[in-house]
Amino acid sequence: MSATLDPISSGRQAVTGLIEEVAKTNPVHAKKLERFLMALGDDYFEFAGPFIHRIETYLTARGHTLEFAVKCYLNMIADVTMEHVRFLRSGRYTSTSFAEVNERVYGNPKVMSYYMHGLLLSQVLWAHHYKMLRFFHSGLEKRAAGIKHYMEVGGGHGMFLADALGMVKGGETFTMVDISPASLEMAQEFVPHDPRTAFKLADVFAYEHGEKMDFITMGEVMEHVEDPVALLARLRTFLKDDGRVFITTPTNAPAIDHIFLFTSAEHIRQVIHAAGYDIEEELGIWSEEMPPEQLEKNKVTLLYGAFLKPRLS
């Protein structure tokens, strides 16, 4: 990347290079990425350049290259495509229990390696992931002054945690809880070293934490459990009465480790309310571009995000 380029041009160059790498193996998917990403605004490219550089730095430290990450991403895309075909035929996700996906995915280091690296690239290659990240940033910025104790549940590669460390200036503790050793290992290398952080390998239903949290983030976890109401209710036990939770979860999103099928944004809202929360802000982003009447008919994925507050009465 040329040092003479401005941040927007540098970002465009980095994204173009990434798409060109995808095109070597999957030119059709690369064309789709180009159509979606090049239509985004300058703010996307300002984000994309530094984020791709962070990924390259992380990969180099592990003895990998960006080409390796792209191969992982395309393996993940192949999985998603196969799961989507099955989903359209059956109307169900392939797995229905945590035990199945734990054996199939989380307990399989080879699968977790390509899956987690693929998900990391999706943060910059999927427009709806980027737009949700922007929603998280804007909402966290408005609430950051009151946050001293921050928790992330199922943090995966640690991107939300890394950003929170930079945004929550008064934060005293930042705790990430994840059930996957591979996820925690990746997060500990991707997240900048900070003595305020703690990484805990635990099932959140069994995990105990003495300090009540001001803010909890849980990105795309609810679809991975059998009972999302119970999961959200469990988070309430870690949260201060005036604390807040940020969640994201998709509708109609078949994947190798998805269990609970959300069929609509309203379905997600029902789960949120049943768990004892009210919605302060919400955003829904479709993963494809097509006429509105075709989106639900074709079971297109909607990525839903919301800032929640506990209901006290």
Cα separation values, 112 from 34, 117, 132, 152, Å: 27, 8, 23, 19
8 A C-beta contact, residue 176 and residue 241: no
Q: By CB neighbour count within 10 A (0-12 exposed, 13-18 middle, 19+ buried), where does 28 fall?
A: exposed
d(CA 151, CA 170): 14
Query: Which one of 1.10.580.10, 3.40.50.150, 3.40.50.300, 3.40.50.920 gives the CATH number of domain 127-310?
Result: 3.40.50.150
Q: What is the pLDDT of residue 180?
A: 86
In the three-class reduction of DSSP (H, G, I as helix; E, B as strand; rest coil), residue 204 is classed as coil
Rg (CA), the chain: 19
Q: What is the pLDDT of residue 70?
A: 97
Q: What is the pLDDT of residue 312?
A: 86
| pTM, two decimal places | 0.94
d(CA 288, CA 72): 22
Residues of the chain with pLDDT under 50: 1-2
173-187 as b/e, with b when 16 or more CB fall inside 10 Å?
ebbbbbbbebbbbbb
d(CA 208, CA 228): 19
In the three-class reduction of DSSP (H, G, I as helix; E, B as strand; rest coil), residue 108 is classed as coil
Q: What is the pLDDT of residue 240?
A: 97
Q: What is the pLDDT of residue 3?
A: 54
Q: What is the pLDDT of residues 139-178, one digit of tens each?
A: 999 999 999 999 999 988 899 999 999 999 999 999 999 9
d(CA 230, CA 284): 23
Q: What is the pLDDT of residue 132?
A: 96
Portions of the chain given CATH number 3.40.50.150:
127-310
